[in-house]
Amino acid sequence: MSPDDDYPDPPERERLTELDWLLADLAGVCVQRRERGMAPQAHDLLAVAAEFGDDAPAKLLTVLALFEALIADETTAAGADE
């Protein structure tokens, strides 16, 4: 039994939807803005997401919250290393 036995084979995995790709793109825009020191303009990104359905903005907020949590964790870890 290999470690990969717990994971389905690639043909069995769900394909990314158009919404998945949109959320990834919008999250990428937010990340790029943050890295450049710009305001994330999240309200604009949420408006774009809303064009793809009522649940899209909530999903985008979840992705952005996860990103912010990861950034906060990295910042905390970096401060502990000093």
Tell me if 64 is assigned to some domain.
yes
Tell me if 10 is assigned to some domain.
no
| Of residues 59, 68, 48, 47, the one with CA closest to residue 16 | 59
Please name the amino acid found at residue 82. E
Tell me if 62 is assigned to some domain.
yes
Query: Which residues are CB-contacts of 30 (< 8 A; sequence separation ≥ 6)?
Result: 40, 41, 42, 45, 64, 67
**What is the per-residue pLDDT across 12-69, written as a single tens digit (0 to 9) for each?**
678 889 999 999 999 999 999 999 999 989 899 999 999 999 999 999 999 999 998 9
Segments forming the whole domain that contains residue 68: 15-81
Per-residue pLDDT at 79: 67
Tell whether the model's pLDDT for residue 2 goes beyond 80.
no
Residue 75 pLDDT class (50, 70, 90 cuts)? confident
Tell me if 6 is assigned to some domain.
no
Domain count, the chain: 1
Sign of dihedral through CA atoms 51, 54, 56, 60? positive
